[in-house]
Structure 1
Amino acid sequence: MNRKSMLDVSSYKPEFNPDKLRLARERRGLTKEGLAELCGVSRRAVSDWESGRVEAPPVEKIGQVLDFPAAFFFGDSIDEVAESAVSFRALSSMSVRQANRVLAHASLMRTFSSWIDVRYATPAVDLPSIEELTASITNLEPSPVEAAESMRAMWGLGARPIKDLLALLESKGVRVFGLPGHDREVDAFSFWHEDLPLIFLNTTKSAERLRFDLAHELGHLCMHRDINTNRNRQFELDANSFASAFLMPTAGLLPQLVGRPTLENVMRLKKYWLVSATAMVRRLNQLGRLSDWQYRSWMVSLSEKGFRSNEPDGIQPEQSSLLKQILGLAREDGWSVDRIAKDLGFSRQDLTEALMGLTVLPVTSSTRGSSAGTIEPPPGKPTLYRVK
């Protein structure tokens, strides 16, 4: 299959771009003073670099300090992600520096997403809007639970557990990336960039909590598109309600609740529905099968047993089928992770941390020029094609 032809840019000489210097500094969580100290210059010098008053700052030195290739600081600006576009769970507790660092990471990964789209045809976006989800609901103000039930119906999920939520979302056109270690206190967030939905996850959590985070962010993407949800707790509560109903639908869960619920029942049900024990207890309370007193008592008991910070006897984490296929095809085309990062102007670490632990082996001559057009994923996984 033919690769996409590239333009001849041999005569193009990019200029230093001060916006990309600022973005790189923010990605590393540094103030101007911090960068100045590491570079051995004054704060005024850094301000001059970032304002464009200096045409040729010492990019090699800056690149070493910030762990960015010097080439990153040249060429067109990166289309940056605005804070107002992102659904942060605890923006009020985040410092400006922390928010900027995470937004810079999201901007870099959005650029990587564009790199993917130039080379590979990925699943089309198929996320219904809140208007589409609630079109058949007669209530004047449809609830998040009704929206979740409507989405399950539109996607033909029935009332059964979703075996691989990450694969499902990727098959619907959602891009999912991981958060670097020092950004994981942000937890998870999502946003739309033009018509592309993206989710970022703290991949150190238990598999059950990652699934809930995915469903939570799916709720934001569908219910709160074009709405600034930051600093509004009700939006977070709505996304939680959506996630609970999406993962544990009433029609499937209620028939399993025979007699008085017990913690033993919770352990059985949470394994069946692939959720955390605390999420199951919360859902039983929402459905009126646990009193508020029982709910609080059981949550204390689960916390004492370690279920608030971990998930004993948990399930295996879901892996990104889409990214695995992309890296597999890229490897056949001669693109190692190092080469992709260099092409983007990123450090290797910036890219690998976002790939949720997936890696690509060094390219060998036998892999170059492969004629394979697709990599067939397991049943139910998104299928990926090269762009002709």
Structure 2
Amino acid sequence: MQNKEIFGQRVKRARIMRGLSMEKLSLAMGKAISRMSISKYERGEVYPTSSTLLLLAEALQLPVDYFFREPNYLVEAIKFRKRSTLGETKSKMIKERVIDVVERYCEIEDICADFRPFKSLPQYLISDKTEALKAAGQLSKRWDLGIDGIVWVSELLEENGIKVVEIEEHPKFDGLSLIVYEHLPVIVLNTSFSSERRRFTAFHELAHLLLKFSPSLSEKECEALCNTFANEMLLPGDVFKSLVGQRRSKITIPELLAIQRQFGISVDALMYKAKEMSIISERSYRQHCIDKNRDKELKEVVEQSHWEEESASRFERLVYRALSDSLISFSKAASLLNSPIEEIKRLL
């Protein structure tokens, strides 16, 4: 691939990543260059001057070397977990942000020669809730998770060869899963949400990566089975029954909060699980939803996070390890982390 072509692709991807039209990018650069010039850059026809390149990098909030980094990784099978109001422009922005982070993640793995191989489950054809629960149980056994709750979901996934990327995004975006270079699984989470929400989303997206659904199922049914899988990974059904009992007319909020603090799963998810397992009736579950939505104070209690903030850290650890071992320079570390050099030096 020619340098001009690489540069042109990078400019276009960066512009999409920031949600800018060519005209808006020109305005962000103080009209130092025209829309026509940006179009020529993206088509790989011309290079900018050094001063214009710096302005371009500043407007797009990216290091200069981003525009000359050759894409080495094939990204495919992107699956959004989204609400219907997430538009095409926003979806494209998120995809480009994800691809940028994944490229940097794969690059630092190459530099450190540190790879975590992913050993997938045998793919079973999932057609109902029972099979989704069975798949969750098999994975829990394979990963030796025990019954005491998962402390760090992101670390667990990364230890087992699944890259976790975290970005701060609009609340309309929950997460997504994708495959890089045909065999490397990646899960993307939105840091705008609570720890409980991100933990649940992580396992929901894992279900998209691991499970093969029957063609007869609708998209809505597949999403529901992914939720069943995620719920079971966080709290096995038999453990839940041992905590609340086989059959209840009502489960109190203090009971649910205690379980939330132990297993990092929200009260609402626990109530839904209780309904799905027939521990409580459909009517009791509906009443919980009605009561919560009528009572503002109750809603705040139910939706409050009670789990320690957790985040994926392997990518950052690899960058600092490479820097400590003189495998990369400070400027390269800053480029990989998208952070100022001064901040990185201050942390060392």
TM-score range, shorter chain: 0.7 to 0.9
Q: Does 1:245 align with 2:239?
A: no
The counterpart of 2:7, out of the listed 12, 17, 28, is 17
The counterpart of 1:234, out of the listed 205, 221, 239, is 221
The amino acid of 1:233's aligned partner reads: K
The amino acid of 1:255's aligned partner reads: S
The counterpart of 1:273, out of the listed 214, 238, 263, is 263
With the length of structure 1 as denominator, give the TM-score of the two structures.
0.74
The amino acid of 1:214's aligned partner reads: A
* 8 Å CA contact retained: 2:203, 2:230: yes
Which stretch of structure 1 is more off in the superposition, 263-272 or 140-149? 140-149
The amino acid of 2:53's aligned partner reads: V
Between 1 and 2, higher relative CO (CA 8 Å, sep ≥ 6) is seen in: 1
Which stretch of structure 1 is more off in the superposition, 121-130 or 73-82? 73-82
Q: What is the number of equivalent residue pairs in this alignment?
A: 331
* 8 Å CA contact retained: 2:82, 2:175: no
The counterpart of 2:166, out of the listed 178, 201, 216, is 178
Q: Secondary structure at the match of 1:176?
A: strand
| Cα distance, 1:338–1:101 mapped onto 2, change above 3 Å | farther
The counterpart of 2:102, out of the listed 68, 85, 110, is 110
Q: Does 1:69 align with 2:56?
A: no
Q: Does 1:166 align with 2:154?
A: yes
| Cα distance, 1:27–1:220 mapped onto 2, change above 3 Å | same
1:218 corresponds to which residue?
206
Q: Does 1:192 align with 2:185?
A: no
1:257 corresponds to which residue?
244
The counterpart of 1:123, out of the listed 111, 116, 122, is 116
Q: Secondary structure at the match of 1:99?
A: helix
CA displacement 1:268-306 (0-9 Å, x = unmatched):
322232211111111001101121221122123345336
Q: Percent identity at matched positions?
A: 22
RMSD: 3.3
* 8 Å CA contact retained: 1:18, 1:49: yes
After TM superposition, give the deviation of residue 153 of structure 1 in Å. 2.2
Q: Secondary structure at the match of 2:79?
A: coil
1:53 corresponds to which residue?
45
* 8 Å CA contact retained: 1:26, 1:104: yes
| Cα distance, 1:337–1:100 mapped onto 2, change above 3 Å | farther
The counterpart of 1:340, out of the listed 329, 333, 336, is 333
Distance in 2, Cα, partners of 1:112 & 1:75: 10
The amino acid of 2:251's aligned partner reads: T
1:297 corresponds to which residue?
287
* 8 Å CA contact retained: 1:336, 1:363: no
After TM superposition, give the deviation of residue 222 of structure 1 in Å. 0.7
Q: Secondary structure at the match of 1:318?
A: coil
1:381 corresponds to which residue?
none
* 8 Å CA contact retained: 2:167, 2:189: yes
The amino acid of 2:143's aligned partner reads: W
Q: Does 1:316 align with 2:308?
A: yes
The amino acid of 1:256's aligned partner reads: L
* 8 Å CA contact retained: 1:159, 1:251: no
CA displacement 1:171-218 (0-9 Å, x = unmatched):
1011112113x4453121111112111111122322222211111111
Distance in 2, Cα, partners of 1:332 & 1:108: 24
The amino acid of 2:58's aligned partner reads: Q
With the length of structure 2 as denominator, give the TM-score of the two structures.
0.82
* 8 Å CA contact retained: 1:161, 1:273: yes
After TM superposition, give the deviation of residue 107 of structure 1 in Å. 1.0
| Cα distance, 1:55–1:114 mapped onto 2, change above 3 Å | same
**What is the 5 A alignment of 1:338-377?**
339-342=332-335, 344=336, 347-348=338-339, 362=346
* 8 Å CA contact retained: 2:136, 2:233: yes
After TM superposition, give the deviation of residue 312 of structure 1 in Å. 3.2
After TM superposition, give the deviation of residue 317 of structure 1 in Å. 1.6
Distance in 1, Cα, partners of 2:185 & 2:71: 21
Q: Secondary structure at the match of 1:68?
A: coil
Q: Secondary structure at the match of 2:117?
A: coil
After TM superposition, give the deviation of residue 18 of structure 1 in Å. 0.6
CA displacement 1:113-155 (0-9 Å, x = unmatched):
2122211414321331423xx7xx9x99963222112211222
- Structure with the higher fraction of residues in helix conformation: 2
CA displacement 1:327-346 (0-9 Å, x = unmatched):
4423422557753233x5x7
Q: Secondary structure at the match of 2:118?
A: coil
The counterpart of 1:143, out of the listed 131, 134, 150, is 131
Distance in 2, Cα, partners of 1:59 & 1:254: 61
* 8 Å CA contact retained: 1:167, 1:320: yes
Q: Which runs of 5+ in 1 are unaligned?
A: 1-12, 352-358, 365-388
Q: Which runs of 5+ in 2 are unaligned?
A: none
* 8 Å CA contact retained: 1:176, 1:199: yes
After TM superposition, give the deviation of residue 252 of structure 1 in Å. 1.5
| Cα distance, 1:309–1:110 mapped onto 2, change above 3 Å | farther
